[in-house]
Amino acid sequence: MVQMDMTREMEEYLNEIHPSYARVVTLRFYHGLTVRKIAKLLDTTEGNVRVRLNRALSALKVLIKERSALNETHIAK
């Protein structure tokens, strides 16, 4: 149950970031593809995949912190 909730929550976060970022996160962490395989699949360079992953993870970090702060505000009231 907790795993399902976490997956649903992560899907919500992925829907909020740029689609090209969400795509590389999904391929890397949900499907377990290497950066090299993702690059071939998307017909781009490995460097570009790394940049997208970095930007995606940064964006997700901001979203998670924002939502966490919002939830803490609601709990404190």
Q: What is the CATH number of domain 2-76?
A: 1.10.10.10
pLDDT computed for residue 70 by the predictor: 74
Q: Where are the domains of the chain?
A: 2-76
How far apart are alpha carbons 29 and 11 in whole angstroms?
12
Contact 13, 21 (CB under 8 A): no
pLDDT(3) > 90:
no
Between CA 53 and CA 59 the distance in angstroms is 10
**Does residue 72 carry a pLDDT above 70?**
no
- What pLDDT is attached to residue 76? 54
| Between residues 71 and 50, the one the model is more confident about | 50
